[in-house]
Each structure stands twice: as structure tokens, then as C-alpha cells.
Amino acid sequence: MAKLKKWFKKYGVRSLLGMLLVLVFSAHSLNYIRIAGLDTLENLIYDTRVRFTATNESDPRVVILDIDEKSLGSQMLGRWPWSRDRLEELISILFNNYKIKVLAFDVVFAEPDNSSGLRVLESLSKSELKSNAEFLSTLKSLTPQLDYDRRFEAALKNRPVVLGYYFNAGKDAVDSGELPFPVLSKDDSAGTWMSLPKWEGYGSNLAGFVSSATSSGHFNPIVDADGIVRRVPMLIEYEGDLYESLSLAAFRLYQAVSKTSGSPLRLPAIEFSPRIEPEGSAKNSASWPTLERLRIGEARIPVDSATNVLVPYRGGPKSYSYISLLDVLEKRVNPSLLKDTIAIVGTTAPGLLDLRATPMSGIYPGVEVHANLVSALLDSEKPGGIKTYYPNSEFFEFLIIIFIGLGLSFLIPIASPVIALIGFLCVEAAVGSVTQVLWTNGYVFPTASILITFLSLYVLNTAYGFLIEAKQKRQFTSLFGQYVPPELVQKMADDPEKYSMEGRKARLTVLFSDVAGFTSISEQLSPTDLAAYINQYLTSMSIIIRESGGTLDKYIGDAIMAFWGAPVDEPEHAEKAVSAALAMQKKVDELNSEFSQRGWPLLRIGIGLSTGEMTVGDMGSQVRKAYTVMGDAVNLGSRLEGLTRMYKNKIIASQPTVDACKNFIFRELDRVRVKGKDEPVTIYEPLGMSSELASRSAELSTWKSALEAYRSMNWQTCQKILADLKEKYPRDGLYEALSDYIDELRQDSLPENWDAVRKFDTK
């Protein structure tokens, strides 16, 4: 039980979230809910497979007779619609000269042809010329020649010709023309197996054409929500009757022509093959048949419950032989291109608006959709020629999501990031491979929901792990930042390979600060007030150091040690340190204003700054270590902080610090020998930014004269200059400090080669 609680505490939330995701996606697979974007992704995957597996090979059994721009622009034909005598001539040429087997029209002949003038002549025969016997006789003899519609009807009779028409619904639902006889009645067929959309109107051909033609077929594709044509219904229901598609009608007529000769042609019947849904499937708990295939002679056409066929596109636009109708009428076409073919009359002319969006192209001739279907129906006996959804695919999709998804919900959280990534990629690759094998064998299997389920599980666990890791990192930084510099902890946590705690040599700037007279201050305050006093002071100083990019090394009682330039390189470490030191002194003045109101002792701090080579890194004992700096330059910084009391000033910096700061003004204080060093050191006091201290140039020049007199042992001149400076700047303790020191020197007997270097033997 304890182990289970521990596991749940560590991985339970992620596993529960993963299970919830799996349930949501499994509900989508069963169509209980629809997740936005998944259908779009599924279509994208399908379209990609269609494009990559297209053969791009033409089918010589199917040709397209194109109402193209050349035909429309010719004097012989002109703009569409053409006169029916031309179409009669076209039919005769195609069957008599080129020996085609089947002709299908992807156009509608909805209006009578009056281009011959026959209607005008008939009107005259009933009015002005009704008594003119010669006119009436001539008209009677010319009528068969001028009645283009009757001539077109005669051309259609006893020939394997399929006329096209369409259905409509909604506000466009109107009836025009004459519907052909239905191929089946839903009540007399397997209507309970099918789920057909109902249409409310139609646009068809003139009644005489319909009765004369051997067959007719609709050319209504299914346009998906994204505007792409992927499916065409083989059968459409209208007022309880079923009507076949143009491609199916052409295919059945082709079979009839191939097996029989003469007239009438006997079209093979349309039969239905059901499949049995498994118990417990998404549709019902009982078993019942649903439509799986259409049987037409020896052909088996895979369809869905709405008799839709997935269009097996062979390639992009113009994948079939296109022949201009003008060339056909002028008999310029090689007969071998048309003999024994199914010829489909359609258009690629943009002005006739028969262009579709398909998986192969956004601009695709509608007539070529039918050509692809006819070609596929001719090869329907070949396995995989027409793709269909895998039987019970929704049920199997649900099982895959549930079982593998739940398994990943428990396995990914406990796996390492590398193993989780490899496992996720392997599962995704396996799903992709299996669905591709099914595709090759003629089956479409839903892929998007499965892939996105597993991807969501992986992203969920990765994001959750990242957030928890970030939270733990913040906790780590907050916890250890109390003891070691938080800047170091954060940088190390962000990029541990870049920042090492191992000791290394680096040129840095170190700062030491200390409170003057802290013992006296502590004696004047209660323990509670003293804690508040020192905490406020240390907090204020530490904030300034951090904001300037410094690394807070340690507190030594009331003293502070910090440095700049590590762990992150900072080329301007000296200027950053000087800026921080000046800000700290300014903050002290603000604190003193507050402390005086509370009756607390005033605060005075001294700061020492030193720049130079020093060792920086993780140093200490096995019990405790600290990221700190060591070296002569560090020791010098500590010594310089102590000298602020001797020179009665606030900040003292070394010569290397001054050399590295081009934007600050310093005044030279003295040359000294500090404890532990034999070499003399020139010390300076930073006064501020160069741009802010132009008014102190006269004071600095006077001070420089005092230093020169001091170093040349010209005590009287030096004291006189210092007296003037003290009178003008009484708050600057430096002048009084040097004056007092000269008084001491005048009491001693100095050697003639005195080097003007002041020696300090204490820290």
C-alpha cells in the first residue's frame, strides 16, 4: 500500500490526465463527440496518401472529349451550347468512324434547340403563310432536316449513350427536364442497409432525349466540408427511388456492350452485398447487416452505407487522354485513340465552370472525376483498385485508442525522457506502417485520431514534467539561494554543462563592506531592534548587489562580500562593482533618514574594491562548501575596506579597478603598504560618473596640489592647502585625516629618501 501511495503521488496525476485524454479521443472514434480539427487532419493524411500513391498513368480505355477553348473559339462550333445537328454529327462520327463502345455526356441538354429557325417557320405556317401551299409543302419536306432535337434523338436511339443530369436540395431544389427511370426502388432493394441522403429536386434533359438514350446517370459528387471532392455516390435517393451515377451507368453500359451485340442492350443488374456489424460495436449492441459492396455482374464495387465510392485518382489534371471535339468533328484524330473506348464528353474551359477541388489539385476538371471512377470500375475485380474503409474501422480504432492509449498513460510517466520519446516514436511509426499496409491492400483506416491521441499523451507528460521540473528548480533555487548565490544556482540549473563550479583563474572585481562602530550600535539597540536593523541593512545592500549583476558571496556578521564577473562572464565587472558601491552609499543615506525617525543609531559603512586575477569556484570542506573567490586581489579588497576608517571616507578602490573604469572619476588618496604586501599600492576614491562631476574639477585640482606638497615633505604648504579645503568642504573627512597624519609625521624624523608610502600593519 505504501508503494502504491508513493507511485500515485509521483505519477498518478499524469496517468489520470492521460486516461482522460484517451477517453475523449475514444469517444471521438465512436462519433459520440467530434474533436475540432481531427477530421481536417484525417482528410489531410488521406489526400497525402492519394497524391503519393497515384500511378500518374493514363488509362487508354477511357478518353475525354473536351469542349475546350479551341472548340469554343472555332467558326465551325462557336460558343456553347452547340446546335443539336452538330451533336448528331458528333455521335455518328464517334460510333461509325471511330468505333467507340460507350459515349457519356457530362453535360445537360435542358432546353430545346431553336437555332435552325424551324420554330419561326412553323409560326409563319400558322399565320401569314398558312394559305401558301408551296410554302407548306416545302416546310413539310424540310422539317425532318431542320428539327435538330428530333435528329439528336434519332442519333441517340439504339446506341450506347449515357446522358448526364444532377440533383439539388435546399433553396436550389427545383425540377427541370425529365428524370430517367430509376434503376431500383428503395423499398424493393436493400434500403434498410443503406443510409442515403435525400435530394429534393433535379435538373435533367428534355424528355425526348431521356427516352431515346440507353441510360442516364447523375454527376453529383460529395463535396466535403473543406470543399474537396473525395467521394461520389453510386446511388442517390429521390422520392423513394434510386438513381445511378454517370460513371456507374457508363460502366454497366460498357459491360452490356462487351457481352451482347445489337439492340436492345441488357444492362447487368445492381445487387447488394452486406456485411455484419459485430456485437457491441459503436452503432448498436445487436448484429445487423450494412451495405459493403455493389455487385454488377462479375464486378464487386466497395462502397460505404451511403453507396459512396472513394475516387481513386490516377494523377493530377490531364491524367487521361484529352481530345478536342473540334478535332473529332474534323476527323483529325488517330482512330486507335478512340476505338473500343468509353468516351466522356466534358469541358476544361474555365468559362463553363466545371472545375473542382480534389486531393490532387485545387483546380481539377469535373469530367476527369468521372473518368477516374469509370477507369476504377473497369478494374474493380483487381484487389485494392478502389479504396474502401476497413470493415468495422470505427470499432477497431476505438480498441487501439483504448488499449494502447491506456498502456501509454501508465508507461510514459514512469519512463525516462529518452525511453519515452523512443517508445512514442515507435508506436507512431507502427501505426503509420500498419495503416500504410492496409492502404496498399485497398483499405483506408482512420489514422489521425490514433496518432493525435498518442502525441497528446506524450506532449501532456512532457509538458507536465517540464512544469514540475521548473517548479522543483524554482524551489531548489529558492532553498539553496539562502546559502549560496541564487544567481549561480539559477544559471547552473538552466545550463549545467556551461557553468562549472570547479576552481578557475579569472580577472574579477571583489567588494567588501563593513559597518563602522557596529559594537556600539549593538549596545544601543534591543535584540529585536538589532535584528530588524541589520536585516534591513543587509537586505538593502544585497538587492543593490544583485541588481548590478554581482554575486553575493557571504555575510560575515555585519560585513558583506560580493564579486562581479563570475559565474557569468561580465566584461565591465569593475564598473558594475563601482556603480554598486556608490549606490550602496546612497542607500545608506536613505536608511539613516528612516533610522533617525525610529530613534536608531545612524549607519556608516566602508567599502573596499579590488580588481585582479583571483581563483573562483567551489571551495571549502567536505562538510560545507561555498562558491567564492580567493587570492591576493581578494585580500587587498578586504584591507582597503579597513582603510576607509583611516582616511575617513566611504569607498576605496585599487589601481586596477580605476584602470578598468573609464566612465568614472576617481581621486587619488595615497600610496600605502597594507598588511601582507611589500609592494606599495596606490588607492583611490570613486566620486561618481564623469558626466556628473564637472563642478568638482577645481577641488580635485587643489587636492592634487596638496598631495604633491605632501609627497615632497612640504608640510607647511600642504597644511595650508588642506586648511582651505577643510573650510570649503567641512563634511569631507579626507582632508582632516591627511592633516592629522602630517602632524604625526612632523613629530617623527623621516629619512631623506622617504617614499611617501604609508604603511599599515593591521587588517
Element (H, E) at 515: strand 504-515
* Coil/strand/helix, residue 51: helix
The three cell numbers locating residue 135: 410554302
> Looking at this protein, which amino acid is placed at residue 101?
K
Q: How far apart are the C-alpha atoms of 315 and 51, rounded to whole Å?
A: 7
Task: Return all residues near 286 (Cβ < 8 A) that are at least 6 apart.
Answer: 279
Q: How far apart are the C-alpha atoms of 226 and 445, rounded to whole Å?
A: 20
Q: Which of 160, 347, 356 is nearest to 251 (CA)?
A: 160
698-717: burial string, b at 16+ Cβ within 10 Å, e else: ebeebbeebbebbeeeeeee
Q: Which of 322, 429, 449, 303 is nearest to 376 (CA)?
A: 303
Q: What is the pTM of this model?
A: 0.62
The three cell numbers locating residue 429: 511509426
pLDDT computed for residue 287 by the predictor? 46
Measured torsion, CA atoms of residues 485, 489, 491, 494, in degrees rounded to the nearest 10: -160
The three cell numbers locating residue 634: 581578494
Cβ atoms of residues 253 and 226 within 8 Å: no
Q: Count other Cβ atoms within 10 Å, centred on residue 174.
A: 10
Cβ atoms of residues 357 and 221 within 8 Å: no
Cβ atoms of residues 83 and 148 within 8 Å: yes
User: What's phi and psi for 651, nearest 5 deg?
Assistant: -135, 135
Cβ atoms of residues 689 and 665 within 8 Å: yes
Task: Return all residues near 92 (Cβ < 8 A) that are at least 6 apart.
Answer: 155
pLDDT computed for residue 484 by the predictor? 47
Work out the angle at residue 333's Cα, subtended by the Cα atoms of residues 328 and 337, and round it to the nearest 5 degrees.
110
Task: Return all residues near 576 (Cβ < 8 A) that are at least 6 apart.
Answer: 509, 548, 549, 550, 564, 570
> Looking at this protein, which amino acid is placed at residue 200?
E
pLDDT computed for residue 104 by the predictor? 95
pLDDT computed for residue 322 by the predictor? 92
500-510 pLDDT, tens digit each: 667 889 999 99
Q: To which residue does cell 472545375 refer?
A: 355
Q: How far apart are the C-alpha atoms of 634 and 563, rounded to whole Å?
A: 9
Cα–Cα separations (whole angstroms), residue 423 to 11, 408, 417:
18, 9, 10
At what angle are helices 486-494 and 448-480 packed, to 10 degrees? 160
> Looking at this protein, which amino acid is placed at residue 296?
I
Work out the angle at residue 74's Cα, subtended by the Cα atoms of residues 71 and 80, and round it to the nearest 5 degrees.
55
Q: How far apart are the C-alpha atoms of 203 and 205, rounded to whole Å?
A: 7
165-207 pLDDT, tens digit each: 999 887 777 888 899 999 887 666 655 556 777 788 999 999 9
Cβ atoms of residues 222 and 308 within 8 Å: yes
Burial class (CB in 10 A: 0-12, 13-18, 19+), 607: buried
Q: How far apart are the C-alpha atoms of 610 and 757, rounded to whole Å?
A: 19
Which residues pair with residue 555 across a beta bridge? Answer: 560
Could you list the beta-strand ranges (E) of 235-283.
235-238, 241-244, 270-276
Q: Which of 674, 670, 506 is nearest to 574 (CA)?
A: 506
**Tell me, what DSSP letter sits at residue 245?**
B
pLDDT computed for residue 483 by the predictor? 41
The domains located in the chain, with CATH, are 2-35+392-477 (no CATH), 57-115+160-267+314-382 (no CATH), 495-692 (3.30.70.1230), 696-763 (no CATH)
Cα–Cα separations (whole angstroms), residue 690 to 402, 662, 663, 665:
73, 8, 6, 5
Pairing outcome for strands 235-238 and 321-324: unpaired
How many Å from the N-terminal Cα to the C-terminal Cα in the chain?
Answer: 63
Spans of the chain below 70 pLDDT: 1-13, 75, 115-144, 146, 186-194, 261-263, 275-290, 351, 353, 384, 464-501, 763
Cβ atoms of residues 432 and 1 within 8 Å: no
**Tell me, what DSSP letter sits at residue 319?**
-
Cβ atoms of residues 202 and 163 within 8 Å: no
Work out the angle at residue 723's Cα, subtended by the Cα atoms of residues 719 and 726, and round it to the nearest 5 degrees.
135
Measured torsion, CA atoms of residues 644, 648, 651, 657, in degrees rounded to the nearest 10: -70
Q: How far apart are the C-alpha atoms of 2 and 8, rounded to whole Å?
A: 10
Q: To which residue does cell 586648511 refer?
A: 723
> Looking at this protein, which amino acid is placed at residue 125?
S
User: What's phi and psi for 613, nearest 5 deg?
Assistant: -70, 135
Cβ atoms of residues 338 and 322 within 8 Å: no
Cα–Cα separations (whole angstroms), residue 556 to 515, 560, 561, 562:
11, 6, 8, 11
